[in-house]
């Protein structure tokens, strides 16, 4: 970041006698220089705001990547739970076919009850994971919205900085023209003497 400050105390001016006669022009020139200095300071503040917004934007992107990684991990766990649920249901089906065998009936009945409890637990786990994944997706969507807002704000700040730069260039050109007019007046006054 470049911060420029123009400070021109009145006491530091040692005007040639010919320029003292055109005091109004020198006061105008001094005011123009001071105003340009204030504009340059404001330009630096806006640049700091843009840098701060960029840091926040990068942090949001990092948080978004972390959230995406967590969501992928949870999706993998969700898929594993589904596979386990399917496996457990296959086991229950196998036990159901063996219920016809009288001597294994009690063992099969106990096993089926146990498997049914495990399936219910797995179903609850899957539902919980499902809710968690939906919540993570919702949070991710909100973070993406925040990120879009930050990008828009940064674009707006950049446009403001560009406009201020153009305005500053125009004022500097006016200042140069005013300086040239004063210089010519001084030369003309010297030629008259």
Q: Please give the helix or strand (H or E) that residue 189 lies within, else none.
A: helix 105-192
Q: What are phi and psi of 3, to 5 degrees?
A: -115, 125
Q: How far apart are CA 77 and CA 63, in angstroms?
A: 21
Q: How far apart are CA 173 and CA 19, in angstroms?
A: 21
Of 177, 192, 193, residue with least CA distance to 25: 177
Assess whether pLDDT exceeds 80 at residue 35.
no
| 77-89 pLDDT tens trace | 999 989 999 998 8
SS (H, E, C) 12-78: HCCCCHHHHCCHHHHHHHHHHHHHHHHHHHHHHHHHHHHHHHHHHHHHHHHHHHHHHHHHHHHHHHH
Which pLDDT belongs to residue 11? Answer: 40
Q: How many residues does the chain have?
A: 193
For residue 7, how many other CB atoms are within 10 A of its CB? 8
SS (H, E, C) 161-188: HHHHHHHHHHHHHHHHHHHHHHHHHHHH
Q: How far apart are CA 50 and CA 163, in angstroms?
A: 14
| 127-142 pLDDT tens trace | 999 999 899 899 999 9
For residues 96 and 118, which has the higher predicted lDDT (pLDDT)? Answer: 118
Mean pLDDT (whole number) for 17-33: 52
Assess whether pLDDT exceeds 50 at residue 10.
no
Which pLDDT belongs to residue 34? Answer: 61
DSSP symbol at 87? H
Grade residue 76 by pLDDT with cuts at 50, 70 and 90: very high
What does pTM read for this prediction? 0.31
């Amino acid at each position: 970041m470049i911060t420029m400050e123009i400070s021109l105390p009145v006491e530091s001016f040692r005007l040639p006698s010919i320029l003292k006669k055109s005091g109004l022009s020198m006061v105008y020139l001094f005011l123009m220089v001071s105003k340009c200095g204030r504009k340059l300071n404001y330009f630096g503040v806006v640049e700091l705001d843009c840098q701060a917004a960029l840091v926040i934007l990068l942090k949001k992107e990092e948080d978004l990547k972390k959230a995406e990684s967590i969501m992928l991990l949870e999706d993998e766990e969700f898929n594993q739970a589904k596979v386990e649920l399917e496996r457990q249901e296959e086991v229950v089906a196998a036990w159901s076919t063996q219920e016809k065998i009288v001597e294994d009936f009690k063992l099969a009945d106990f096993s089926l009850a146990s498997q049914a409890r495990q399936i219910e637990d797995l179903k609850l786990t899957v539902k919980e994971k499902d809710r968690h994944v939906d919540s993570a997706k919702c949070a991710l969507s909100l973070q993406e919205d925040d990120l879009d807002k930050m990008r828009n704000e940064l674009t707006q700040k950049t446009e403001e900085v560009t406009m201020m730069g153009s305005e500053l260039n125009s004022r500097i050109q006016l200042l140069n023209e005013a300086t040239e007019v004063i210089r010519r007046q001084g030369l003309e006054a010297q030629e008259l003497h």
